[in-house]
Structure 1
Amino acid sequence: MQHIKSFIENYQIYIYLTAVIGGVLTGLISYSFANFLESIVSVCIGILMFSMFSQIPFFKIKQNFLNVRFIIALLISNFIVIPLFVFCLVQLFNITNTPVIIGLYLVLLTPCIDYVIVFTALGKGNEHFMLFATPLLFIFQILLLPIYFTLFLDIDIFSHMTIVPFIKAFSMFIILPLIFALLLQFFSSKSKTSNQILQLTAWLPEIFMSFVLFSVVGSQINKIIHNLDIVLIVVPIYICFLTISPFIGALCGKLFKLEAEAKRTLAFSSSTRNALVVLPLALVLPKDWVTITTTVVITQTLCELLGEIIFIKAIPKLIR
C-alpha cells in the first residue's frame, strides 16, 4: 500500500490538474451537478484541513513555532507590502468599475487561513508556522479590511456587510478540524481504533485536495463562462499578482534572515488569498454589484488553484 501512497505524492501535481480539468468539464456538462458540488465545497475543505492537522504531531511539539522574526515578516508582507502592491495593480490596470474594484480588494487583501497550510506543506514550507499563524492572519484581516477600503475607496461598503462569514469560515475550516485532529491524536495512544484512523488520515490530504479542486472548479465554472468580459479584465491582474507576490513574501523573509523553509512559507502565504471565505461577503453586496463582484472573486480562486499547482513544484526550487 505504501507504494500507492508514494505514487500519489510523486504525481500529485498531475492528479490536481486532472481534477481541475474534470471540474471544468463536469460543471459545463451538468448544471444540477454543479449545484451539488457547490454544496459540498465546505465539507471537502473541512475534511482536507482535518487530515492535514492530523499529520502535525501537536503533542510532540517541544519548540516554540511562533518564531518572532517569522511573524513580523508575515505581517509586514501580508498587511503592508501586499496591500500597497494590490493598490498599485488596480491603478496600473486603470480599473474604474466599482464592483470589480471591490471584488479585487476583497480577495487580494485577505490572506488565506485554510488550505494555504496544505499547499505550504506540499511546497516544502513550514506548515507548523503557517498553522500557528492563522489566528493572527484572521484577526488582522478582520481589523484591517475596513481600513483598506476606507483608504482605497471613496464609498462605505461595510454598511452592507457583516464579519459573520469570517467567523463561520474560521470555525468550520480551522477550529473544528483542529479540535477533531487533537482529539484523534490524543486517543490514538490509548485506542487501537483511533490509531488506525490516525494512520488512515495520512492518505487523505492529496485525495481531498483533489476533491476541493474538483468541487470548486466544477461548481463555479458556469459563473465564469457567463461573465467572460469581467474575467478578461481581472485575469491579467491575477497573473501579475501570482507572479510577483511569492517573491514579496520571500524577500520579507530574506530581510529578516529567515531560513529557506520559512521563506517558502511566506511565499505561499503572500500569494494565497482568502477567496472561499470572502465570497459570502461579496454575496451580501447590493444586488446590482453581486454578480460582478462574485465573478471577480471566483475567477481569482481558479487562477490561484492553477498557480498553486505550479508553486508546489517551483517554489522549492526557486527559494533555497
Structure 2
Amino acid sequence: MTRLQLEKNQLFIYLVAISLGLISGVLYPNIGSYLEAAVWPLLGLLLFSTFTQVSLTHLRETSFSPRFLLAAIVGNFVFIPIVVAGLLMLAPDDPAIRIGILLVLLVPCTDWFITFTELAGGDTQQAITFAPISLLLQVILLPFYLYVFLGNEFTVSLAHSGMLWAFIGLIVVPLILAWATQKFAEQHPSGKKFINYLAWFPVIVLALVMFIIASSQVAIVLDSLALLPSLSLVFILFLLIVALMAKVLSRLLHLSSAQGRVLAFSFGTRNSFVMLPLALALPANYELAVVVIVFQSLVELIGMMVFLWWVPKQLFP
C-alpha cells in the first residue's frame, strides 16, 4: 500500500478503530484506564509527524497568489467564525458540546486538505503554500476566538485544567521540533528520509488514538447517542455553507477553478486531531467535547468523499 492509498482509505481505518475501541470498552470496561496513559505520547507523536509535513522553514521564499491568500485567510479566519456563531444556535445547549464545536470548527486543517486538493485536481502548490500560514494564524487566533465566544466560561475552564499546558506541550513544542527537524533535513539526507518516514504516521497514530478514546469513553459515547442527529445537522450544514462560500469568494476575487478547489477543501476540513489534546485537557465534566471532535472528524471525512465528486465536477468544473 502506498501512502496515498493509506490516506484515501483513512475513513474506513478510523471507523474500524472506533468500532473496535467501543467493542473493547464494552467487553473489557477497565481496558480504557490502562490504555489512557498512551494517549498523550501518541498525540505528541501525531502532531510532530503532522507538522513535519508542513513547510515551516521556507515561508518567506514561497510564491503565492495574493488574491488566493486573501480569500483563504478572510474565509477561514473572518467568515467561518461568523458561520460557526450562527450554527451554535442549532447545537444542544451544553457547555461541553459548545466548546467542542468551537475547538473543531474554528481552525482549518493543515494537511488532509492538501491530499484532498491533489485528489480533486486543485492547485496543490497554493495549498502547500497556505498550510504553514494557516497553522501559525490559528495558533495565534484560537485563544482570542474562544474568549470572544465563551468569555468567562473559557477563562474558568482554562484556569482549572491543563489546557494551557496541553497547548504548549502538544502544539507549540512539536511545532518547534518540526521546524528544527526540517532545518536539519536541509543539510542532511537522513533528515529528509526521516521526514518522509514520518509521513506514514498521522493516519496510523490517529487510528490508535481513536481506538483508545473510544474504549475509554465508551460510556459517554453510548449516553450521548441521542445528541448525534443534532450534531450531524450542525456539521453537515457547515460543509454546505463553506463550500458555497468558497464559490462566492472565488468569483468575487476572480480565482481559477483550481484555486477555488483549494478554498473548498481548506474551508471544509478542520484541524480536529490537533484540537484533541485541548479537549482532553478540559475539566472532568467536559468529556463530551472529545466525543464532539471525534464525531465531527468522521462526518468531515464522509463529507470529503462527497466533495471529491462534487467540487471538481459541479462546484469548480
Judge same fold: TM > 0.5, yes or no: yes
Task: Work out whether 1:266 is the aligned partner of 2:263.
Answer: yes
* Structure 1 residues 281 and 201: alpha-carbon distance in aligned structure 2, compared to 1, 3 A threshold: closer
Partner Cα distance (2:63, 2:309) in 1: 25
- Which secondary structure state, in structure 2, belongs to the residue aligned with residue 168 of structure 1? helix
Q: Counterpart amino acid of 1:25?
A: S
Identify the residue that residue 81 of structure 2 maps to in structure 1.
83
Q: Where does the alignment leave 5 or more consecutive residues of structure 2 unmatched?
A: 26-30
- Cα shift readout 1:165-205 (whole Å, capped 9, x = no counterpart): 334343345332232123213223xxxxx2xx635754663
Distance 1:272 1:94, change over 3 A: closer
Partner of 2:19: 25
Please list every run of 5 or more consecutive structure 1 residues that lacks an aligned counterpart in the other structure.
189-193
SS at match of 1:22: helix
The answer as to whether partners of 2:100 and 2:290 remain within 8 angstroms in 1 is: yes
Question: With structure 1 as the length reference, what TM-score do the two structures score?
Answer: 0.74
Q: Per the alignment, do residues 45 and 314 of structure 1 end up closer, same or farther by CA in structure 2, a change over 3 Å counting? A: farther
- TM-score of the superposition, structure 2-length normalised? 0.75
> Is 1:301 matched up with 2:294?
no
Which one of the candidate residues 88, 95, 109 is aligned to 2:106? 109
- Cα offset, 1:221, TM superposition: 2.8
2:143 alignment counterpart: 142
Distance 1:180 1:73 in 2: 31
How is 1:236-275 mapped onto 2 (pairs within 5 angstroms)?
236-275=233-272
> Is the Cα contact below 8 Å between 1:118 and 1:127 reproduced in 2?
no
Map residues 96-135 of structure 1 onto 2, 5 A cutoff.
Answer: 96-113=93-110, 115-117=112-114, 119-121=116-118, 123=120, 124=122, 125=124, 126-135=127-136
Using a 3 Å threshold, how does the CA distance of structure 1 residues 89 and 22 change in structure 2: closer, same or farther? same
**Of 46, 68, 71, the match for 1:73:** 71
Report the equivalent of 2:203: 210
Cα gap change, 1:252/1:149 in structure 2, threshold over 3 Å: closer, same or farther?
farther
Q: Structure 1 residues 175, 226: CA separation in 2 closer, same or farther (over 3 Å shift)?
A: farther
In the alignment, the residues of structure 2 paired with residue 57 and residue 160 of structure 1 have an alpha-carbon distance, to the nearest angstrom, of 31
In structure 2, the CA distance between the partners of 1:291 and 1:44, relative to structure 1 (3 Å rule), is closer
Q: Residues 188-203 of structure 1: matches in 2 within 5 Å? A: 188=189, 194=190, 198=192, 201-202=195-196
The size of the alignment, in residue pairs, is 296
CA-atom RMSD, angstroms? 3.5
Residue 81 of structure 1: how far off its partner (Å)? 1.6
